[in-house]
Amino acid sequence: MTERLSEKAEELFAAEIRANPERCLEDFSSFTHALEHSTARYMGEVVDTYYEPMFFDSEDVKECTYIAGMLDGIVRKVSAAFIDSEEIRQLFAFSAPAKELVLIDPGYSHPAPMMRADVFYSRNSASPFCEFNTDGTSGMNETNELDRLFLQTGIAKALRNNISLSYWELIDSWADCLLETYREFGGPKAPAAAITDWDGVGVRTEFTSIQRALERRGLECRICDPREFTYAGNRLRLRGSNIDLVYRRAVNFECFERAEEIAPLISAVRDGAVCMVGPFRSQIIHNKRIFPVLRDPLIRALFSEEERQFLRVRLPETRNLLEDKDLIESAAEKREELVLKPADRYAADEVYVGRNTPRDEWLRLLREKSTEGGYLLQDFVTSEERTFHTPEFGGFVPKKNRNVLGVFMYGGKFTGLYPRVSSESIIASLWKSRSLAAIYAD
């Protein structure tokens, strides 16, 4: 088998740190210093990362483009069926108020202009899905800052003697997608924009980066809490000014729970008085119940044979956790093969890996969460191990990590990558994970 260019880049990186360990340690120190003064932050803290990026090549791009294309077709079909069929809507078990919001026409065609499909990525085999992110999707600024800083390192300059290195730009391209979506909506040519999330949450450095990208395109843009909006005379207003375009980052389930607090924004969206990118109907795909729904015969009938095969290979077996004695007993016996997770949370909050949970505690969780409702049992899957070199003891030590790779899709098209790695079973911000630069080797 011909060596992949991404593998060659990894080998060149390892050879460079073996040949010049002291110089690379100094280089890593400079990289770390630059990182501390960058906007690569999550919840105010500098992101944890490795010196070594995750390398990709044209074969990876081909695979991710295929994933995005297949998934986009599936997303559009499922969303259209949800809108058209009460029988399909019942499969999702949304509350009546949530369903009413999901059914609001956003004024443009794509049900999820922003989407990040997280996969347990393997270089040479079909990669299973972890989850789909729509509302609240983040990581664009974080990974781009890591990309930019890595390409400024001495080791990147050394690697460029043999290969070309670049990355996927994710901020300006998202600003362009926002404006393309807005143009389809058909509002004023120079919209006044707002980026909105609850005070005290969200990745504010990312919001600022997107705000600046919109301002470079001649727009006025403010960052606000969704409770700040007012609505009168068919105009959404913020701090005395009209708003035409809202990029919503406040996640769906919190908007549904706090709908009374954001009634002006909801009324403006319902009346078609504002273009809100981050439509409520993105919940159809974002809610993790989509995994068992995609296996339902009613839904499978919507798909082509290629789409059905795509899902068979890449969709982990997922079941709703119900108050069912047989299901709980079966899940208790298969503890090491399962993950228990909520259908609608983020950052791996309240996710329990069976193999990491004592048997008695696992059984207690199954019984408790089955009565609460809204929890899923999913087959435990993981990605291939890759080696990343980390500075220790005056040199570099190879460490095995598994990854979750975020495949960004803007307007349904593959746009870029967001890798995270960990030696733990769960790879997420609440656990010991690291975000990496995503570098394209050409």
Provide the b/e sequence for 239-253 (b: ≥16 CB within 10 Å): eeeebbbbbbbbbbb
Residue 404: strand pairing partners: 420
Residue appearing with tokens 């990876």: 60
Tokens representing 335 are 């503890």
Start-to-end CA distance of the chain, whole Å, equals: 19
Predicted pLDDT of residue 393: 77
Average pLDDT over residues 181-209: 90
Predicted pLDDT of residue 15: 96
Inform me whether the pLDDT recorded for 324 exceeds 80. no
Domain spans, the chain: 172-282
Predicted pLDDT of residue 328: 86
Predicted pLDDT of residue 430: 41
Pair 230, 268: CB distance under 8 Å: no
Quick one: which H or E segment has residue 64?
A: helix 58-84
Inform me whether the pLDDT recorded for 429 exceeds 50. no
Predicted pLDDT of residue 392: 84
- Per-residue pLDDT of 264-280, as tens digits, reads 999 999 999 999 999 99
pTM: 0.92
Which residues lie below 8 Å from residue 185, measured CB to CB, with a gap of 6+?
106, 107, 108, 275
Distance of alpha carbon 391 from alpha carbon 331, whole angstroms: 41
Distance of alpha carbon 406 from alpha carbon 131, whole angstroms: 9
- DSSP one-letter string for 274-332: SEEES-GGGHHHHSTTHHHHTTSHHHHTTS-HHHHHHHHHHS--EEE--S-HHHHHHHH
**Range 172-282: architecture per CATH:** 3-Layer(aba) Sandwich (3.40)
Angstrom distances, CA of residue 231 to CA of 97, 105, 235, 269, 270: 20, 18, 6, 10, 12
Residue appearing with tokens 């068979």: 312
Question: 2: pLDDT confidence band, cut at 50, 70 and 90?
Answer: confident
Question: 350: pLDDT confidence band, cut at 50, 70 and 90?
Answer: confident
Predicted pLDDT of residue 371: 83
Residue 255 C-alpha from the chain's centroid: 19
Greatest mean pLDDT among 42-46, 129-133, 176-180, 292-296 lies in 176-180
Question: 88: pLDDT confidence band, cut at 50, 70 and 90?
Answer: very high
Pair 31, 149: CB distance under 8 Å: yes
Average pLDDT over residues 182-192: 91
Question: 342: pLDDT confidence band, cut at 50, 70 and 90?
Answer: confident
Predicted pLDDT of residue 104: 97
User: CB burial class (10 A; 0-12, 13-18, 19+) of residue 394?
Assistant: exposed
Average pLDDT over residues 82-104: 95
Predicted pLDDT of residue 398: 92
Question: 427: pLDDT confidence band, cut at 50, 70 and 90?
Answer: very low
